[in-house]
Amino acid sequence: MDAPQLCGRLCDAGGKTGADPAVSSTLFIIAGLPGVGKSTRAAALEAGTGGVRMEPDAWMDELKLDLWDEDRRASIEAMQWRLGRRFLAAGLSVIIEWGTWGRQERLALLEDARALGARVELIWLTAPAEIMLERVTRRGRESPPITMAQIKEWIGLFQVPDADELARYNAVHRH
């Protein structure tokens, strides 16, 4: 969906801030570490659903920012979520491609989206560490490059969704 279409949909929403039962939007939360296929999956969802994709790496690249700058990444993600809530309220689906490593981050997104009347689906992606390293090395986006030691550390930091969390989503897709 291009910018004029988005603007038209938001303008048609009349600036509403609450949920509209006639509006059918979905928040897709893509959870996973670097190199598991989040961007590929998000692009397929974007093409298949017409959803608005929130990908901080692309914004950081466009703004010529360091992908390792966590403060700027957090600011971009906050801006993307402010926009994402507006899109959901207007009836558009939103694809969050932040990795969402933490349970509380995922549940906060879920609660915000539900308050707007949106469905929420979790796409939980995993891959062996060797595949993750191969993919991030091939794309060559990070400088300095991601290392196997970092991937192994991050595997330990990622909060795997438990049964209680999984039960809260309208749908869960694990790949």
25-45, pLDDT tens digit by residue?
Answer: 999 999 999 999 999 999 999
Taking a C-beta distance cutoff of 8 angstroms, is the pair 24, 117 a contact? no
In a domain, 126, yes or no: yes
In a domain, 47, yes or no: yes
Taking a C-beta distance cutoff of 8 angstroms, is the pair 73, 79 a contact? no
φ and ψ at residue 45, rounded to 5 degrees? -65, -40
In a domain, 12, yes or no: no
pLDDT-based confidence at residue 99 (cuts at 50, 70, 90): confident
In a domain, 14, yes or no: no
CA distances (Å), origin 56, targets 17, 69, 174: 24, 11, 22
Give the domain extent around 148.
23-174
Query: Is the pLDDT assigned to residue 128 strictly greater than 80?
Result: yes
One-letter amino acid for residue 101 of the chain: W
Query: Is the pLDDT assigned to residue 94 strictly greater than 50?
Result: yes
In a domain, 5, yes or no: no
Residues 35 and 122: their CA atoms lie apart, in Å, by 18
In a domain, 53, yes or no: yes
pLDDT of residue 22: 52
Helices 129-139 and 148-157 pack at an angle, to 10 degrees, of: 120
Residues 165 and 152: their CA atoms lie apart, in Å, by 24
| 166 or 141: which leads in pLDDT | 166
Contacts of 138-146 with C-beta under 8 Å, sequence gap 24+, read: 141/57, 141/61, 141/67, 142/34, 142/67, 142/68, 143/66, 143/67, 144/68, 146/34, 146/35
DSSP strand E in the chain: where? Answer: 26-31, 52-54, 94-99, 119-124, 171-174
Report helix, strand or coil for 99.
strand
pLDDT of residue 79: 96
In a domain, 87, yes or no: yes
The mean pLDDT value for 151-164 works out to 97
In a domain, 7, yes or no: no
User: What's the CATH number where 134 sits?
Assistant: 3.40.50.300
pLDDT of residue 2: 42
The total number of structural domains that make up the chain: 1
